Structure 1
Amino acid sequence: MSAEVYVGRAPAEGAANAGWLLGHFMPPGDPRHSDEIEIKWGVHPAGEERAQWVRGEARTTFAVLVSGRFRLRFPDRDVLLAEPGDYVTWGRGVDHSWVAEQESVMLIVRWPSVPGYKAESPRAL
């Protein structure tokens, strides 16, 4: 198999790396290493919420619901993702938080991939 091709399983690999499948945090030389984009397969139990708000976000984010019911919180509104395929996107500088209203699977794409950024672990309600 070519070194430029990587085949994996998002649920298993994501579980081993806080959900992250692609980004600057993967080893250099690995096809999953990128300074331009990050991709996450987020599995969230019902009631899990972000430990604290993200303030001054440095990336753009696209979040799509694969399954479950997931609420994104923004300073001026909440967005409920309730049907598979519902999505939301927001740009740099947008403060946000979230809560999994039901067990949820989310596919998250962020860009660019910013070294040194690490969120606190989510907490259960």
Structure 2
Amino acid sequence: MSQLVFVFGTLKEGFPNFATNKGARIAGDFMTVERYPLYLVGERFSPWLIDAAGEGERVIGQVFEVDDATLAAMDELERIAERDGYRRVMLDVEALDHVRRETFCAHAYIKPREQFALADARLGPLKEYAREHAALYRSRDPAAAESGLRSKQLLAQNVEFGNAGSLDTHGTGWFVGFSDWTRNPPAHLRHVPADELAAGLCVKWFSHPAGNPNGESKPLSEGRTMSILASPASEFRIEFSTSADFPPQDTLSHTLRRHGDFVIWGAGVFHRAFGVQPACILTVRWSSVEAPGPS
């Protein structure tokens, strides 16, 4: 039997524990109807949603439809049977896209208030658990923490996700280029200094049928590559890894769903794509070289 789960932290798509989440994502982002405190806690910088309705912020996350096996795997990850683990409760969440006005009652993993001490908080309260927060996360399993380190480095340095229409471009629409607002730490992948030249520029426009591509690994990337969803709506998943065999603990995944969704990545990354639904993708690839100095 399928059930809905609201995830706000490491179980989100493209985040450190997403490999455990085998559910089907409901398109768009969602927000809790009530306000809750969301903190990064302890030496592991774990995201804790505290059971204190009415405090903190309305928290943004994702909703997945999961089967019983996936829900059980999430329960195990969140240690709900242990005294100091999370508790699975039902929360009301609503779509950020107010045109749809969808509201769901979904499972969510929260921490009892009595487990939380403000002195243990490293950051918060937060409205959303973002990529820069995930880069701080440390797995409970030392082996997983070590093997997942490269994924966190990718997350923080080599891959950026977003939507072109949602970025603050100061009313210009230019989201890649030399303007200051294209800087996005730490890698500034969308920033191209005015005195920097582009070499090997390639532009690809391709209408992918469903099932194409189907996970074929591509060569190690060079320069920078950006793929943008040109279709009104679709489901086109791209996975990234520093390993050609894409082990789950070292793989980042992101799905382009909305018109204007993009992903940009730098050099030294393996990637593969899955055309879950028909999708028109615009891909731009280039390498940066410094302009020659005065002769």
TM superposition score category, shorter chain reference: 0.5 to 0.7
For residues 42 and 35 of structure 1, what CA distance do their matches in structure 2 show? 22
Residue 217 of structure 2 corresponds to residue 71 of structure 1: no
In the alignment, what sits opposite 1:110?
Answer: 285
**Shift in Å, 1:43:** 1.0
Residue 285 of structure 2 corresponds to residue 93 of structure 1: no
Taking the TM superposition and a 5 Å limit, the aligned residue runs for 1:46-65 are: 46-50=210-214, 52-65=216-229
TM-score by length of 2: 0.25
**Shift in Å, 1:59:** 2.8
Number of aligned residues: 80
* Matched AA of 2:286: W
Segments of 5+ residues of structure 1 without an aligned counterpart are: 1-33, 113-125
* Matched AA of 1:69: E
In the alignment, what sits opposite 2:203?
Answer: 39
Deviation digits for residues 42-75 of structure 1 (CA, Å, limit 9, x no counterpart): 1100011256312321231011101122100112
Deviation digits for residues 22-54 of structure 1 (CA, Å, limit 9, x no counterpart): xxxxxxxxxxxx953100101100011256312
Structure with greater contact order relative to length (CA < 8 Å, sep ≥ 6) = 1
For residues 93 and 54 of structure 1, what CA distance do their matches in structure 2 show? 12
> Which SS does the other structure have where 2:220 is aligned?
coil
| Structure whose residues are more often helix by fraction | 2
Compute the RMSD of aligned alpha carbons: 2.1
* Matched AA of 2:228: V
For residues 36 and 52 of structure 1, what CA distance do their matches in structure 2 show? 23
Of the two, which has the highest radius of gyration?
Answer: 2
Segments of 5+ residues of structure 2 without an aligned counterpart are: 1-197, 242-250, 288-295
- The ranges of structure 1 where at least 4 consecutive aligned residues each deviate by more than 2 angstroms after the TM superposition are none
State the identity %.
33
Indicate conservation of the 8 Å contact 1:45/1:100, yes or no.
Answer: yes
For residues 214 and 227 of structure 2, what CA distance do their matches in structure 1 show? 15
